[in-house]
């Protein structure tokens, strides 16, 4: 993992900081099983540096940004780079305090406290990924306030105060555009340092595509990367909405082609069909057709 940071030219003093952190907080054998092995590397030196610096300072990190900007990929990469066990908590409207910190249950005729994911993470010095944090009601999140500020404790009613292990960090993600999200209130936002996640850079995208599709012909790899940039430009100039600017969809389309579909239908399924307005859909198809002929298939795209 640290090798990736070196390849990304991350400032060596930050890498050293991570090494010191790892030496200070080695994971126990039981915790090892929870340390993620990311399927995707995150590409982007500046964001790596900002995120690493924040976590080394002991801050909680909020990754805000559009869809498929690599928020979860980065969060997982960070837990792996820092060598800490990860707890994933997906937020939703019915989330309540018990779902986060834990609840009393009956066990053998006795009431016992069963810790929730945030409580476990806090005790074990884990990395807690608070996914789509703005999906939950702000009131439900109030229980996290003391954990997320200088107090670093959680008061579990009828149980005890749980102090956060010094290695514990929280990384929240949020996407302002998604339906069902709400404004994060100031009290909560104030407890995080916030990174606005950019869309992947052209170089990052080429690295991602060649890592994910090692047998994709170089010429087409460049065309697919350029297609994504074309869509991004159209989006910036407000000619199309950002529904079709979906890196996930582009990767899906390539997988469909590798599976045997022609480029036209595969790119429709991954990209154009995400837009339901027929005029806009036409515009997107034109952008795609200018880069990738609809009849292209696996035999011309992939070397194997």
Ligand X SMILES: Nc1ncnc2c1ncn2[C@@H]1O[C@H](COP(=O)(O)OP(=O)(O)OP(=O)(O)O)[C@@H](O)[C@H]1O
Q: Closest Cα to residue 249, out of 221, 230, 272?
A: 272
Tokens of 291: 């880069």
Q: Does 69 bind Mg ion (CB under 5 A)?
A: no
Residues with Cβ within 8 Å of residue 119, at least 6 apart in sequence: 100, 101, 102, 154, 156, 162
248 binds, among Mg ion, ligand X, none (CB under 5 to 8 A by kind): ligand X
Residue 44 contact, options ligand X, Mg ion, none, Cβ 5-8 Å cut-off depending on partner type:
ligand X
Instruction: Name the residue nearer to ligand X (CB basis): 115 or 202.
Output: 202
Q: How far is the CB of 70 from ligand X (least distance, A)?
A: 3
- What would the x/- binding string for Mg ion be over residues 80 to 119, using CB under 5 A? ----------------------------------------
Least distance to ligand X from the beta carbon of 131, Å? 8
The minimum distance between CB 42 and ligand X, in angstroms, equals: 4
Give min distance, CB of 282 to ligand X, in A. 25
The residue nearest Mg ion at its CB is 72
- Which is nearer to Mg ion, 36 or 102 (by Cβ)? 36
72 scored as a contact of Mg ion (CB under 5 A): yes
Q: How far apart are CA 231 and CA 217, in angstroms?
A: 21
From the CB of 145, what's the least distance to ligand X, in Å? 24
Using CB under 6 A, list all residues that contact ligand X: 40, 42-44, 67-73, 173, 175, 200, 204, 208, 247-248, 251
Based on CB atoms, which residue is closest to Mg ion, 88 or 104? 88
Question: Least distance to ligand X from the beta carbon of 65, Å?
Answer: 6
Q: In Å, how far from its chain's centre is CA 95?
A: 20
Taking alpha carbons only, the member of 130, 175, 124 closest to residue 148 is 130
| Residue of closest CB approach to ligand X | 70
Closest CA to 95 of 138, 129, 136: 136
**Residue 247 C-beta: closest distance to Mg ion, Å:** 12
- Interatomic CA distance for residues 53 and 167, integer angstroms: 15
Residue 166 CA to residue 149 CA, distance in Å, equals 13
Which residue lies nearer to Mg ion by CB, 38 or 125? 38
Q: Which does 204 bind (CB under 5 to 8 A by kind): ligand X, Mg ion, none?
A: ligand X
Which residue in 120, 145, 148 sits closest to 34, CA to CA?
120
Residue 45 or 152: which CB sits closer to ligand X?
Answer: 45
- Cβ closer to ligand X: 73 or 294? 73
302 in Cβ contact with 258 (< 8 Å) = yes
Q: Compare residues 167 and 208 and give the one whose CB is closer to ligand X.
A: 208
Query: Which partner from the list ligand X, Mg ion, none does 174 bind, CB cut-off 5 to 8 Å by kind?
Result: none
Report CA 268 to chain centroid distance, whole Å.
25
- For 130, the token pair is 């608070």
Cβ density class 209-219: b for 16+ within 10 Å, e for less: beeebeebeee
The full DSSP string for 98-135 is HHHHEEEEEETTEEEEEE-HHHHHHHHT-EEEEETGGG
Nearer to Mg ion, 90 or 232 (CB): 90
In the bound complex, what is the minimum distance in angstroms from residue 227's beta carbon to Mg ion?
A: 23
Q: Which residues bind Mg ion (CB under 5 A)?
A: 71-72
């Amino acid at each position: 993992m640290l090798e990736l940071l070196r390849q990304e030219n991350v400032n060596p003093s930050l890498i050293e900081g991570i090494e010191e952190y790892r030496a200070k907080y080695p994971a126990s054998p039981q915790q090892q099983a929870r340390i993620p092995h990311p399927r995707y590397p995150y590409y982007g030196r500046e964001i790596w540096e900002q995120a690493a610096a924040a976590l080394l300072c002991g801050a909680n990190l909020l990754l805000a940004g559009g869809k498929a900007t690599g928020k979860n990929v980065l969060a997982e990469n960070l837990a792996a780079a820092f060598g800490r066990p990860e707890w994933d908590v997906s937020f939703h409207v019915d989330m309540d305090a018990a779902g986060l910190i834990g609840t009393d249950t009956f066990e053998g005729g006795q009431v016992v406290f069963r810790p929730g994911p945030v409580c476990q993470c806090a005790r074990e010095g884990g990395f807690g990924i608070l996914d789509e944090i703005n999906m939950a009601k702000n009131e439900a999140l109030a229980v996290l306030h003391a954990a997320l500020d200088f107090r670093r404790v959680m008061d579990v009613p009828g149980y005890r105060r749980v102090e956060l292990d010094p290695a514990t960090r929280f990384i929240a993600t949020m996407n302002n555009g998604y339906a069902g999200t709400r404004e994060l209130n100031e009290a909560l936002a104030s407890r995080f340092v916030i990174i606005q996640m950019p869309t992947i850079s052209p170089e990052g995208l080429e690295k991602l595509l060649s890592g994910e599709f090692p047998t994709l012909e170089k010429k087409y790899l460049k065309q697919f990367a350029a297609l994504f940039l074309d869509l991004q430009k159209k989006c910036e100039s407000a000619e199309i909405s950002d529904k079709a600017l979906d890196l996930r969809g582009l990767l899906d389309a390539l997988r469909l082609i590798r599976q045997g579909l022609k480029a036209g239908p595969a790119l429709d399924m991954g990209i154009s069909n995400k837009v339901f307005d027929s005029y806009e859909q036409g515009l997107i198809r034109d952008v795609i057709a200018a880069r990738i002929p609809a009849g292209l298939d696996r035999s011309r795209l992939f070397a194997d």
